[in-house]
Amino acid sequence: MSIDSKILQIKNTIPDSVELIAVSKKRSVNEILKAYTAGQRLFGENNALELKDKYQNLPNDIKWHMIGHLQSNKVKYIAPFVSLIHSIDSIKLLTEVNKRAEQNNRIIDCLLQIHIATETTKYGLQPNQVNEILTISKKLENINITGFMGMASYTKNKKQINNEFSQLRKIFNNYKNNNIHQLSMGMSSDYKIAIENGSNLVRIGSDIFGKHQ
C-alpha cells in the first residue's frame, strides 16, 4: 500500500481525539513529501541533526516533534523550530532546553518521558521523580510541560504492554490539568493498546513508511 493510503487508513482507525505523528527517522525527503501530500503535518524524528536538516529541506508548515533520546549538547540545533520535545528525561536536559528556548525567544512545549518498560535500556524518568521535576519546571519560564511520554517493552505479550501503558495512564491522570493534557504512547506494534489506555498522541513509523531496510 502507498504511503498516502497508509496514512488515511490509520487516520480512519484512530479516534479524532488522537493525534498521529508520522515517525520519519531515516526516511527520505521524498517519502516525507508523500505523507505531506496526503495531508500529514506532524512528523517525529529521533536525531537532532537529521531533524534540523529535514526542517530546512521541507515545507515550513510541518510541525516537528523530537521523539528520541536528546543529548543536552544537541538541543541548540532544534531549539529554533521544534514544536514538541517528547523525551525530557533529566533536570540537566530540561534546564538546557529552557536556556536555548530563551535564546530563541520561544517557549518550548515538552513531555516528560517516563520509564515504564521492564527493559533497562529504555530512557526515562522514574515515576517518583515526576513531582520534583514538575516543581523545577514551574520556575523555568521558557518551557511548558504539556504531558507525558512512555514506551512499552519490546514484547509480544499484550498483557504486559497493557500493564505498562496503564501505569503511565495513572500518572497522567494524577497530574492532568488544562496544561498537562498530552499522553504520548504507542507505536506501530502497540498503538491500539495505547489508545485503549488513554493515549492521545501516537508515534507511527513502519506502519506508514514500511519496514526499515
> Which contiguous run of DSSP H or E holds residue 84?
strand 84-88
The values of phi and psi at residue 108, to 5°, are: -100, 125
Report the residue number, 86 or 100, with the smaller CB distance to ligand PLP: 86
- For 97-135, the DSSP string reads HHHHHHHTT--EEEEEEE--SS-SSS--B-GGGHHHHHH
What's the closest the beta carbon of residue 211 comes to ligand PLP, in angstroms?
Answer: 8
- The residue with its CB nearest to ligand PLP is 205
Report the residue number, 38 or 107, with the smaller CB distance to ligand PLP: 38
Report the residue number, 62 or 67, with the smaller CB distance to ligand PLP: 67
**How is residue 62 annotated by DSSP?**
P
Closest Cα to residue 82, out of 104, 71, 66? Answer: 66
What's the closest the beta carbon of residue 135 comes to ligand PLP, in angstroms?
Answer: 26
For residue 67, which amino acid is it? I
Contact 167, 197 (CB under 8 A): no
List interacting residues with ligand PLP (CB under 6 A): 23, 25, 46, 67-68, 187-189, 203-207
What's the closest the beta carbon of residue 60 comes to ligand PLP, in angstroms?
Answer: 24
Report the residue number, 23 or 101, with the smaller CB distance to ligand PLP: 23
What's the closest the beta carbon of residue 207 comes to ligand PLP, in angstroms?
Answer: 6
